Amino acid sequence: MSAILVTGATGTVGSQVTSQLRAAGVPVRAMTRAPGPADGFVAGDLTDPASLPLDDVAAVFLVWPFATAEGAAEAVSAIARRARRVVYLSSAARRPYEREVERLIEGSGLEWTFLRPHVFAANALRWAGQVASGVVREPYGQAAASPVHERDLTRVAVLALTSDGHHGRAYELTGPQSLTRAEQARIIGAAAGIPVRWEDAPPAEARAGLLAAGWDAQAADGALAALAELVTTPGPTTSTIEDVTKTPAATFHDWAREHAAAFASGPSEEALPTQAAASPATEPSHESRRVPLMRAARIHGYGDASVIRQDRIPRPAPGPGEVLIEVAATSFNPSELGLRAGLLRDVLPIALPYTLGWDVSGTVVETGADVSVFRPGDRVFGLVPGAAAEYVTAPADALARAPRSIPLTDAAAIPVAGLTAWQAVFEHARVSPGQRVLINGAGGGIGMFAVQLAKHAGAVVIGTASPRGAAALAAYGADEVIDYTTTPLPGGMDVVLNLAAVPDSTAAVLATLGRVVVTVATPIPGGTHFVSRSDPGQLADLAARIDEGRLTVRIAESHPLEHLADLHRRAESGTLPAGKITIHP
């Protein structure tokens, strides 16, 4: 018998589809991106169609857990080449990416069925903490809908996967009874043995809560508008579940009784991460409801700063040799402008969607197997991709202990800039006492460290900067500061460190001044070009110099994560200050 592939197999719906298929004796491949020890789970990534385990698969239960359809065409095409049937978990809201995935499936030649649930009963889990307190305070208590039990949705999915007669059908799925949000809260309270009172909060209060939880303004406004509409126009009640399964749909009372323990004990890990209002049109993806969520600044495609999005995604778990870090801060690096715009795709390929941020400082909150050097509570920093988020995993051997003498958030300014400066000064330029060293572009983050490290090596340091960066260079110990906007570059140098993108005419001049070491893409004839690498030993040395008072870290600005797109715009317009900028979740 051919197998059925279940994507999103650890999600609320995917896990139940897997269980019901196995209970019926159907061979199942339960797919997840990072299989754990559970029996029968297989690895696969929808963003990498070649990784999908489609050998001898007849049907696929498809959960597309992304907020964009980018990459969906390739995944659907891969499924169509190997399978005969697909059941796609869409939604009644039919967001733009869901419409696009449906369109791709319709044109694929597959037998298809679309499931379009309205409101999940499980959405009420976000009220767990409030129910336990006896008061649910949210707006639009009279917004009415017919919540569907996830088990009923699963029953329809299993029938569509295993039996004929469902091709070309788009099933809108609801529960059997329309209930206001206030009525749902009271039903849950009765099941949990807790008298519950509803308080209508002002929409502005809920909006502020959504924004604080990482929702963008458009999504927050859309959620509240959808709830307001349900006050005047209640969501529909359909008989689809009973029509398809030939058995009655479960009521919300049934669901509340089954989940009473979750409310009696307060918030659980399966609850949504915010008590703010949500709507069918703006719920997180089905796959993300079973694990804690976090905010992350991601790009789903290349482009200008508007492609940077504040997403809610599952919090990662550390694997063997890894630690989970609660991020205190990351920092802004100009090279990420090129990455975001797609200019580095040939030299630095990335998988989309991609979480920005290369520097991290934070606190270890969990360790994976075979980690002995760090434990929860340790303050660490390092060069870790994907750090523009509330949490990030990292190999333990890529990290160092953060300096003790500066705020933990300031330590995020060190890894990329500090390592680049260290390797330029000591490894590539091999600066020695008495040498004259010109540092071009010394007013930036790398320059901050390069000036100080070259002085530690005993060099005479001449730095170029704009007038706004001159004072900082003097504070770092530069022997001479040159305003490159008015003063020619001096000759007679032993070493030239070029840290700035320069025109060809300036590159030609730099090539004549001394032995050149280059940290940027600008080609300079005869220059040594390099890309910095992660080195925890060098990070530890930098931290020690900071704690000894021999190395200064200057933070020009610090901003919350939601301002990252604005920082990119300011960088491209040339209005960022000299020095490092940190970004905190």
Whether residue 291 has pLDDT greater than 60: no
Closest to 536 measured CA to CA, from 380, 385, 304:
380
What pLDDT is stored for residue 484 in this prediction? Answer: 79
pLDDT band of 281, cuts 50, 70, 90: very low
What pLDDT, in 10s, does the model give residues 57-86? Answer: 999 999 998 878 989 999 999 999 999 999
Cα separation of the two ends of the chain:
49
Q: What is the DSSP string of 430-480?
A: ---TT-EEEEETTTSHHHHHHHHHHHHTT-EEEEEE-HHHHHHHHHHT-SE
What pLDDT, in 10s, does the model give residues 414-436? Answer: 999 999 999 999 999 999 999 99
Token pair 């809108």 in the structure block, residue: 172
Per CATH, which fold does 417-529 belong to?
Rossmann fold (3.40.50)
What pLDDT is stored for residue 282 in this prediction? Answer: 36
Domain ranges in the chain? 3-286, 293-408+556-584, 417-529
Q: What is the DSSP string of 62-125?
A: E---SSS-TTHHHHHHHHHHH-SEEEEE--TT--HHHHHHHHHHHTTT-EEEEEEE--BGGGGG
Tokens representing residue 528 in the block: 């040594």
What pLDDT, in 10s, does the model give residues 494-519? Answer: 998 988 877 777 888 888 887 777 76
Token pair 């995604």 in the structure block, residue: 313
What pLDDT is stored for residue 35 in this prediction? Answer: 61
What pLDDT is stored for residue 219 in this prediction? Answer: 72
Q: Which residues contact 307 (CB under 8 A, 6 or more apart)?
A: 299, 300, 301, 340
Higher pLDDT, 451 or 206: 451
Closest to 428 measured CA to CA, from 412, 446, 402:
446
What pLDDT, in 10s, does the model give residues 345-359? Answer: 776 778 888 899 999
Of 22-26, 201-205, 451-455, which has the strongest mean pLDDT?
451-455
Task: State the sign of the Cα–Cα–Cα–Cα dihedral 6, 9, 11, 13.
Answer: positive
Does 293-408+556-584 match 3-286 at the fold level? Answer: no
Residues 355/222/206/63 CA torsion (nearest 10 deg): -50
What pLDDT is stored for residue 216 in this prediction? Answer: 63
Which H helix or E strand runs over 189?
A: helix 181-192
pLDDT band of 274, cuts 50, 70, 90: very low
**pLDDT, averaged across the chain:** 87
What pLDDT, in 10s, does the model give residues 165-182? Answer: 999 999 999 999 999 999
The CATH number of the structural domain formed by 3-286 is: 3.40.50.720
Whether residue 287 has pLDDT greater than 70: no
Domain 293-408+556-584, second-level architecture: Alpha-Beta Complex (3.90)
